[in-house]
Amino acid sequence: DAYFTEKRKKLAKEGPAVFMEVMTNPFHGPQTLPVSEEDIQKSDAQAAVYVLSRKSGEGRDRRDDPGDYELTEMEKEVIRKLAASYSKFVVVLNVGGVIDTKFLRTTEGIGAILLMSQAGNVGGHALADVLTGKTTPSGRLTATWAENYMDYPGAESFSFKNGNLDDEYYREGIYVGYRYFDSFGICPAYPFGYGKSYTDFSVVVEDVKASADLVEVTVRVTNTGMVYTGKEVVQVYYSAPAGRLEKPYQELAAYGKTRELAPGQSEVLTVSYPTAFMASYDTKKAAFVMEGGTYYIRVGNHSRNTHVVAAICLDKEAVTEILSNRLTPDCGIEEFSAENTSPCTYEGEEQEKESARKILIYGADFSTNRVQYRQENAEIFPSGKEKDQAGRKGKLTDVIAGKITLEELVAQLTLEELATLCVGASRGGFGNETVIGNASVSCPGAAGDTATELFEERDVTNIALADGPAGLRLVRSFMTDREQNLIPGTAQLPIPEMEMLMAGVPKPPVPEDAVAYYQYCTAIPIATLLAQTWDMGLIEEAGDIVGEEMEEFGITLWLAPGMNIQRNPLCGRNFEYYSEDPLVTGMCAAASTKGVQKHQGMGTTIKHFACNNQEDNRMHTNAHVSERALREIYLKGFEIAVKTSQPLSIMTSYNLLNGIHTANNYDLITAIARDEWGFEGVVMTDWGTTGSIGMEPGRQFKYGHANAAGCVWAGNDLNMPGSKEDVEEIMGSVGAKEGDNYVFRRRAFIPVSGKY
């Protein structure tokens, strides 16, 4: 209580920015309670379950300390005592991310370690079903769990570790996660794709086909156990030939999951992927290329249990896509090289390669996609009139009715109306006096709305945007008067810490005729758990649940899923993200989007675009990343999601990318997302990207905020949650010449390499 009492006093003096302090310096509860001999004797049981939990969140990275990545001495003491006292002892990990498991794996008496993750509002029931054998576990890891934290690439320089929160150098390049562990021959505690079941399976490859278009692997999966039914995940990897471009030891290309198989039952799966998926990005050619040589196809059930099943032989180099280098690093980056290292191997690997069936494909058979970039946006010239010939203002409803075209409506809009449409509904006091993530006019607890100013005269209705990540985040209850006006102080805040901060704040009296409303939403599992199912149908079903509730509560855009790469296990927001692997990430986001967008008019907002891979100083850190690593690792998941499911929205990240704020980055938003991938939806900023809502008062940073006018120039459709300053800044930029160095009212808008 002392913690929140202090914060409440600070809130009264300094305002809503204190909410950010709670996120960046959260309250930590007491250590684990001890277990006494008396407790054990009173239990009168032969089996014990110990649940070890961890929490993390937005605004702060985790620490490799006891009580977080490491176990505390008290936790170890309790686990040792329980392991010695019960004939059956299970440790359940109720965690959102990776922790150190050395102690658990080396303590005698622990019968099993069960990764429960964070499973939402029916997590307890699911755990009970697995512990009692009612359900057979079939999950697989989507991140590598290392033996030691320092085994991760760049572990010593991640985020706060080297004392530099301004600049983050992605020196590992393409060697992220299992690509690094496999290529550099480092043995993990639990490899990518790993998972156990209560039964066993055999996976027999029946056929491999390949052409310049498609690779198909057909396998027969059989439950070889005697008691339990279960599901198996089949993972297909490839090893590309090392030529002038370095390649990882292997990379995931496709995967599939069986249905529930009874003992002795089999299922034939055909797992396929486009052959061009094996291409690598060549910055010298600004193209994706498949170098000539042998591509080994591997099949297994995790990254350290794959076997060569075929060898695809490409006669000469094939260029699969011609692009343009758009994200050149702003400094030199000395990337890792695996040239003089020994990759992982296994007994018989070379013999498998020699005896593998050879499939010849030819570079001449590949088609090459050459991207055409827009030279400039199509211009709609102002009509000079706010009204039509009949003296009435054009409205959006007229466009819907076919009376006028959208272009004709836009031509009528004034400069202020156009600028207003580019900025969220928060204007001045509303946004600055409301809690971040709880700033909606139309739906209490939603994160915000689009502009409301054009409703009366132009029929442009606002839409509500609700935060995630594990389902809709809304207030559970609120009250209105008889005229349906929200009664201040009656809405339950969507984040428990916020509720604690607001405790004791005076509230107006509630009228006797007040009406109570309830907005109970389903807490679906966190993204990492969903990904660990490797079941795209199940993830789509979870998205369907969210979409149905969006319809019920009037939400148009869900600010999820998060899909940044789990580059390092200490990222505070990894639980919101799917995987260290871009294919898994993209496929999961696409499945979630398909589920949500089954509901007409509802959509997802894939985020944070791009490289929001740390939380400490997330708004002002400059991520220095090579173009190849970006295109093969950090952007690939977004590309897959866009091309597979066309989400309605993308949210840019806070950070800079190679010296430019992502929200101000034309090459990222327009050239890559729209021109290269064909994205058709809305691009929005994250909340407070332009620094207009006072989230960090009085603090100085090496790199400042994004610029509101630069957001529009780059292709951002919405600055959220919005401010008067944002509107003024956008209006003030009109007529400025390209390349001019100019400053708006509050924030510098400085040209970079003449791009502005």
φ/ψ of residue 112, rounded to 5: -160, 150
Assign residue 459 a region (left: φ > 0; alpha: ψ between -120 and 50; beta: otherwise).
Answer: left
Q: Compute the distance between CA of residue 700 and CA of residue 680 in angstroms, rounded to an integer.
A: 37
Tokens of 459: 């029929």
Decide: residue 195, CB within 10 A, 0-12 exposed, 13-18 middle, 19+ buried.
middle
CA distances from 405 to 390, 402, 408, 601, 682 (A): 16, 7, 5, 21, 20
| Nearest CA-CA partner of 20 in 564, 617, 563, 655 | 617
Does the annotation count 686 as an active-site position?
A: yes
Helical spans, DSSP H, in 471-625? 496-501, 527-532, 536-553, 582-596
Rg of the chain on CA atoms, in Å:
27
Q: Compute the distance between CA of residue 565 and CA of residue 175 in angstroms, rounded to an integer.
A: 12
For residues 68-107, b (16+ Cβ closer than 10 Å) or e, as one string? Answer: bbbbeebbbebbebbbebbeebbbbbbbbbbbbbebbeeb
Query: By the 8 A CB rule, do 592 and 539 touch?
Result: yes
Query: By the 8 A CB rule, do 297 and 308 touch?
Result: yes
Query: By the 8 A CB rule, do 462 and 449 touch?
Result: yes
713 alpha-carbon distance from chain centroid = 25
Q: Compute the distance between CA of residue 107 and CA of residue 84 in angstroms, rounded to an integer.
A: 10
Cα dihedral across residues 701, 703, 706, 710: positive or negative: positive
Decide: residue 352, CB within 10 A, 0-12 exposed, 13-18 middle, 19+ buried.
middle
For residues 478-515, b (16+ Cβ closer than 10 Å) or e, as one string? Answer: bbbeeeeeebeebbbbbbebbebbbeeeeeeeeeeeee
Q: Compute the distance between CA of residue 490 and CA of residue 445 in angstroms, rounded to an integer.
A: 12
Q: Could you give the strand order of the β-sheet that contains 369-370, starting from the edge strand earlier in sequence?
A: 280-282, 287-290, 318-322, 369-370
Beta strands, E only, 211-354: 214-223, 233-239, 251-257, 266-274, 280-282, 287-290, 293-300, 306-314, 318-322
Residue at 482: amino acid letter? R
Helical spans, DSSP H, in 277-355? 349-355
| Nearest CA-CA partner of 733 in 753, 713, 754 | 713
398, 449, 686, 726: the active-site residue: 686
Query: By the 8 A CB rule, do 681 and 646 touch?
Result: yes
Residue 4 CB contacts under 8 Å (≥ 6 apart), including other chains: 27, 500, 501, 503
Which residues are annotated as catalytic?
686
